[in-house]
Structure 1
Amino acid sequence: MPKRLYARSLIIIIAPMVLLQSLIAFVFMERHWQTVTQRLSTAVVRDISGIIDLMDTFPQDPGHENLIRISRERLALNISILPLDPLPAPGPKPFFSILDSILSEEITRQINRPFWIDTVGDSDLVEIRIQLEDKVLRVFARRSQAYASNTLIFLVWMAGSALVLLAIAILFLRNQIKPIQQLAAAADSFGKGRPAPPNFKPRGAEEVRRAGAAFIVMRERIERQIEQRTTMLSGVSHDLRTILTRFKLQLALVSNRLDTAAMEQDVEDMQSMLEGYLAFARSEAEEETGTVNLDRVFAKLKEEGNLLGRGFTSTIRGPAEIQVRPNAFSRLVSNLVSNSFRYAKNVYVLADHRDGWLTITIDDDGPGIPKEMREEVFKPFFRLDEARNQDSSGTGLGLAIALDIARSHGGDIILDESPKKGLRAIIRIPA
């Protein structure tokens, strides 16, 4: 069965119509067409049989002029008397001709003499030859006399009306399916973090309109909730920054009398944590979709790797340009690659862009992450105590932010064991 609603709806409309018309055509062909043709052929053969009886009853008329005249004027049969010659060889039978079979059966049943008929072709006449004792009777009859000629008209009208009805049904069905397709496209765009189509509004049947209106309300609630969360966390971060600034000023004033190195380090850690919180809060903020060139993204990461003394290798398969939220996507890739830079010496990146999906595979030769901990590391503020360096700077939000961005684009991140003996991170998002 087709998977699309439009194709299934067409089948629901077309299948009963085709079944009904097939049944009607079968009944018509089996009953009406065959019955009418049978009766017409019987009447024609009965007339021919009567002509043969008259010829046998009145042999004193050698030319049978009166019989020929009466047959033409009263019976609409054009007859002629031919010398006694062998009948022509039987011609090829048509694949489907009800007239040929019924006419042959009637001649055999009523006359029971050698005969030859020609019903093949587009001619309006049917030729019949019957071998008598000393001559051959040739009869030309109109095809309509022995054949139900209105069958083709019936079939043409039936097929034509069916096509007209199907065209109208398809036109109306397409208009009913289009609002559902627009609603699906709007929901898909929202799931990928992209703005809804500019011309989207509830249309179509009442149920579809209600679904569209409910989607719009849901989208507005989610956007409002994200905006409120971002505003709240941004305000908290701003207030704490003010306190940290005064704290730094006080440290500077007392730096000549006290050893403030530890306190300054605490301030820097708090600053870093605040920046991480703010980045996490902004990860779902609204950002317009734009074009990002993967070559440029990987070039910046390579420069970062060179500064840190790390090896970086990147490969791109397919188009280098993708449609995503630029800042969020750059943060997504940067968080994962920077995480590999921190714990590995070499990083290998493969971007595969095809079939509407972008898959970025990041491999490193670091210590990796135990299998049972690969889901836990995506939780905010989670830090490993053995596999990763606990004393290194960080807030524990890098992977959480990366996963949040990937899912806001309609994708996901999967961690696995790398062939390079380290960690493999797979980013898969629609692009």
Structure 2
Amino acid sequence: MAIFDSLRRDPDRPPQFGLRWMSRWLRRQLPTGLYARSLLIIILPMLILQTVLAFLFMERHWQMVTQRLSSAVTRDIAAVIDLIETYPSAQDNATMVRIARHRLGLTVSVETNGELPAPRPKPFFSILDQILSDQITQQIRRPFWIDTLGDSKFVEIRIRLDGKILRIFANRSQAYASNTHIFLLWMVGTSLVLIIISTLFLRGQIRPILSLARAAESFGKGQKPPEDFSPRGADEVRRAGLAFILMRERIERQMEQRTAMLTGVSHDLRTILTRFKLQLALAGDNPELDALGQDVEDMQTMLEGYMAFARGEAEEDLGTLDLRALFDKLQNDFALHGKSLTYAIQGEEEISVRPNAFARLVGNLASNAMRYANRLEIDARQSAKWLTVVFDDDGPGIAREFRDDVFKPFFRLDEARNLDASGTGLGLAIARDIARSHGGNVMLADSPLGGLRATIRIPV
């Protein structure tokens, strides 16, 4: 109600704002799944059509038939009243009662010195009570009392005459279209059968789309697609599935070619670097050559790191990793270097990832913290959909303007930190590459401990 009050208070606000708000609210209320939306598309028009048909039927057919039947019964009662008043003798009254029973289907009795019962409360919804009362008022114009309630097959009508009460019992079917429920039952039953058939048909059409979505999701997480996946369903779904298979094969082929090419280049460069090292060793001790020898060692370390990463990416399959065992190992490494590491795990301790690659991801982030900080806190949380691992350290951190650049290969924060001999500039690049190959990402932020916060978030 607050949004409508604000619209009334601000007459200058364009009416399109209210329409946009209503459309957003409606989108939030509607289901988001294709299966539910498809059912809604089928069920809603059917319900609207049935509602319109039922309303028209009730308004025109049911009410019209009931009105005609009630009018006919009322005319018969009026005729009986006229005969009773024309021939008031008891013998004539008995004759009228007999004729009414056999010819008109009315059970009639005359009570002398009788009184009408107290008016009964009118039902909330009763076509017969309303129409029959109107007909008696229009045609007979005498005080009356009717009883149309209950499940009885008869309708009781009492009419006050001069010094007597005329009591009539008429069959309910004479004054009321009692077979209307058959139409409603057929309409509702047929609709239910059609909805069941539509539901089964939609399930068969939605299943190939869900299979395609699961295959794409698995491929996005770096997992193998389901073995039973094959394009099925409608022609459009088959084309989408075939396009996905071809795209996946092209991506895998491109990744294999890239990995094989870079691995070959790295192998050739390692051979050349080995010759450099041999020549430097034969050259003897020379202070001018020591710096060159250190550069060769750094290049050798970079190539070894990349080759190990490329080899692991190409060969490893999905498996199970114990987070507690991994964190215990890191905790021991920190203790050996005189530094502190604490961790907390919420949820399952075993996760489904590529074990060696994920261990390398966590190890790279932990080694960065061990190199530049004295304290590291790790918080791992696994929910139904996501695995989140947060690293908080008390080191110097990384400036905001460099947080995207540090994920680039061979990028070094030369001005911000002292270079470590073992650093290659590939640690964070490899970490993000591993996280993205699992369908997730690595993000950097400020840590509550005063240093850097690194967050791993991957789907499970």
Q: Identify the TM-score tier after normalising by the shorter chain.
A: over 0.9
Out of 119, 130, 148, the position equivalent to 1:90 is 119
Q: Where does residue 430 of structure 2 map in the other structure?
A: 401
Aligned-residue offset at 1:282: 4.1
SS in 2 for 1:285: helix
Residues 410 and 207 (structure 1), Cα distance of their counterparts in 2 relative to 1, 3 Å cut = same
Matched to 1:398, the amino acid is G
Corresponding residue to 1:136 among 150, 160, 165: 165
| Equivalent position of 2:146 in the other structure | 117
Q: Give distance in 2, aligned partners of 1:391 and 1:315.
A: 29
Provide the rounded CA distance (Å) in 1 between the counterparts of 2:420 and 2:350. Answer: 38
CA positional deviation for 1:61: 3.8
Match of 1:47 among 66, 76, 92: 76
- State the shift of 1:134 in Å: 2.2
374-383 vs 229-238, greater mean Cα deviation: 229-238
Structure 2 residue aligned with 1:32, among 57, 61, 69?
61
Q: Which SS does the other structure have where 2:167 is aligned? A: strand
**3-state SS in 2 of match to 1:425:** strand
Report whether the alignment pairs 1:100 with 2:95.
no
Does residue 1:184 correspond to 2:213, yes or no? yes
1:363-420 Cα offsets, whole Å, 9 max, x none, are 1111111111110000011111122223532221110000011111111111111111
C-alpha distance in structure 2 between counterparts of 1:189 and 1:142, whole Å: 71
1:272 alignment counterpart: 301
Q: Distance in 1 between matches of 2:186 and 2:110?
A: 42
Structure 1 residue 245: deviation in Å? 4.7
Calculate percent identity across the aligned residue pairs: 64
Equivalent residues of 2:157, 2:167 under 8 A apart: yes
Alpha-carbon distance in structure 2 between the residues aligned to 1:156 and 1:400: 68
1:43 CA displacement = 0.2
1:288 aligns with 2:317: yes
- C-alpha deviation, 1:75, in angstroms: 0.7
Matched residue count: 429
1:298 to partner: Cα distance: 0.5
2:27 — aligned with what? none
CA deviation after TM superposition for structure 1 residue 426, in Å: 1.0
1:425 corresponding residue in structure 2: 454
In structure 1, what is the Cα distance between the partners aligned to 2:137 and 2:247? 81
Instruction: Between 27-36 and 281-290, report the one with greater CA deviation.
Output: 281-290
Q: Distance in 1 between matches of 2:293 and 2:205?
A: 66
2:44 pairs, out of 10, 15, 27, with: 15
Distance 2:292 2:86 in 1: 140
In the TM superposition, what is the alpha-carbon distance from 1:171 to its structure 2 partner? 1.0
Partner residue in 2 for 1:202: 231
- 1:219 equivalenced with 2:245 (yes/no): no
Contact 1:125 1:140 in 2 (8 A): yes
Aligned 1:142-181 pairs, distance under 5 A: 142-181=171-210
Shift, 1:261, TM fit: 6.1
1:111-131: per-residue Cα shift (whole Å, max 9, x none)?
111111111011111111111
SS where residue 314 of structure 2 aligns?
coil
Instruction: Identify the residue that residue 31 of structure 2 maps to in structure 1.
Output: 2
TM-score (norm: length of structure 1): 0.95
Q: Does the Cα contact within 8 Å between 2:84 and 2:92 map onto a contact in 1?
A: no
Look up the SS of the partner of 1:336 in the other structure.
helix
The code of the aligned residue for 2:346 comes to: R
Q: Which of 413, 419, 422 matches 2:442?
A: 413
What is the CA deviation profile of residues 67-110 of structure 1, one whole-angstrom value per residue up to 9, with x for unaligned ones?
A: 11111111111111223221111223222110001101111111
Aligned-pair distance for 1:313? 0.9
Asked whether the 8 Å contact 1:41–1:103 carries over to 2, the reply is yes
TM-score normalised over the length of structure 2: 0.89
Once residues 269 and 26 of structure 1 are traced to their aligned partners in structure 2, the CA distance between those partners, rounded to angstroms, is: 85
Match of 2:10 in 1: none
Contact 1:229 1:281 in 2 (8 A): no
Q: Distance in 1 between matches of 2:309 and 2:406?
A: 15
Question: 2:392 aligned to 363, 378, 381, which one?
Answer: 363
The 5 A counterparts of 1:253-264 are 254=282, 258=285
Aligned to 1:81: 110
How far apart, CA to CA, are the structure 2 residues paired with 1:359 and 1:52? 89
**Whole-Å separation in 2 of the counterparts to 1:147 and 1:266:** 104
Which residue type is aligned with residue 98 of structure 1? I
CA distance in 2, matches of 1:121, 1:198: 65
TM-aligned CA deviation for residue 250 of structure 1: 6.1
From 417, 420, 423, give the equivalent of 1:388.
417
**What displacement does 1:155 show?**
0.7
Cα distance in 2, alignment partners of residues 380 and 258 from structure 1: 33
Distance 1:315 1:273 in 2: 33
Residue 126 of structure 1 aligns with which residue?
Answer: 155
Residues in 2 aligned to 1:57 and 1:196: alpha-carbon distance in whole angstroms: 95
The answer as to whether partners of 2:378 and 2:391 remain within 8 angstroms in 1 is yes
Work out which of the residue numbers 86, 97, 120 in structure 2 matches 1:68: 97
State the alpha-carbon separation in 2 of the partners of residues 46 and 62 from structure 1: 23
CA distance in 2, matches of 1:98, 1:367: 84
SS for the counterpart of 1:64 is helix
1:236 equivalenced with 2:236 (yes/no): no
* d(CA) in 1 for partners of 2:196, 2:72: 43
Counterpart CA distance in 2 for 1:419 and 1:123 is: 79
Structure 1: any 5+ residue segments left out of the alignment?
A: none
